[in-house]
Amino acid sequence: MLCPVRRHQRGQSLVEFAFTIGSFLLVLFGALSTGLYAVQRSAAVTAAAAGVRAAASAQSSSPNDADLAAAAPLVRSKLRPVLFGSTLTAKPAGTPCDPLDAIPRGQLQVCATLDPADDTMVLVIVRGKPLDLLPLVPLPWTIDAPAEIHRVTFTR
Amino acid sequence: MTSHRSRGAGQALIETAITVPVLLVLLLSFLLAMVVAQAYVDLDTATSLAAASAVTAPASNDALSHEFARKTYDGTLHRSSYLEPGQLDGCGGYIAGGTVTCTGHAVLFLSRTPMAILQPFNADWQMSIQATATGYSSPYRST
pLDDT band at B6 (very low <50, low <70, confident <90, very high): low
Strand partners, A110: A90, A126
Contact B48 A118 (CB under 8 A): no
The better pLDDT of the pair B10, B128 is held by B128
User: Model-level pTM?
Assistant: 0.85
pLDDT higher than 80, residue A113: yes
Mean pLDDT of A42-63: 90
ipTM for the complex? 0.84
**Using an 8 Å Cβ cutoff, are B55 and B28 in contact?**
no
Structural domain includes residue B81? yes
The better pLDDT of the pair A23, A153 is held by A23
Structural domain includes residue B98? yes
Contacts of A118 in chain B (CB under 8 A): 71, 75
Structural domain includes residue B91? yes
The answer to whether B127 faces chain A, any CB pair under 8 Å, is: no
Structural domain includes residue B70? yes
**Using an 8 Å Cβ cutoff, are A83 and A108 in contact?**
yes
Contact B16 A120 (CB under 8 A): no
How do residues B14-57 score in pLDDT, each as one tens digit?
877 888 888 888 888 888 999 999 999 999 999 999 999 998 88
Per-domain residue ranges of chain A: 39-150
In whole angstroms, what is the distance from residue A123 CA to residue B20 CA?
A: 45
Residue type, A16: E
Structural domain includes residue B76? yes
pLDDT higher than 80, residue A10: no
pLDDT at A49: 96
Mean pLDDT of A45-67: 88
Mean pLDDT of B93-115: 88
pLDDT at B133: 95
Closest CA to A119 of A80, A150, A78: A150
What A24-30 contacts at long range (C-beta under 8 Å, 24+ apart), as own/partner pairs, is A24/B23, A25/A136, A26/A136, A26/A137, A26/B23, A26/B27, A27/B23, A27/B26, A27/B27, A29/A134, A29/A136, A29/A137, A30/A137, A30/A139, A30/B27, A30/B30
Helix/strand/coil for B120:
coil
Contacts of A150 in chain B (CB under 8 A): 53, 56, 68, 71-72
The answer to whether A9 faces chain B, any CB pair under 8 Å, is: yes
In whole angstroms, what is the distance from residue A5 CA to residue A3 CA?
A: 6
Closest CA of chain B from A84, distance in Å: 19
First to last CA, chain B: 90
- How many residue pairs bridge chain A and chain B with CB atoms within 8 Å of each other? 88
Structural domain includes residue B141? no
Interface of B with A in 22-61 (CB under 8 A): 23, 26-27, 30-31, 34, 37-38, 41-42, 45, 48-49, 52-53, 56-58
Closest CA to A35 of B31, B115, B24: B31
CATH classification at residue B97? 3.30.1300
Structural domain includes residue B107? yes
Candidates A8, A23, A149, partner chain B, best to mutate (most B CBs within 10 A): A149
The answer to whether A54 faces chain B, any CB pair under 8 Å, is: no
pLDDT at B86: 95
Contact B4 A38 (CB under 8 A): no
**Domain tally for chain B?**
1
The answer to whether B142 faces chain A, any CB pair under 8 Å, is: no
pLDDT higher than 90, residue B61: no
Structural domain includes residue B110? yes
In whole angstroms, what is the distance from residue B66 CA to residue A60 CA?
A: 27
Closest CA to B73 of B41, B33, B108, B44: B44
Q: Choose among A42, A121, A144: nearest Cβ to B71.
A: A121
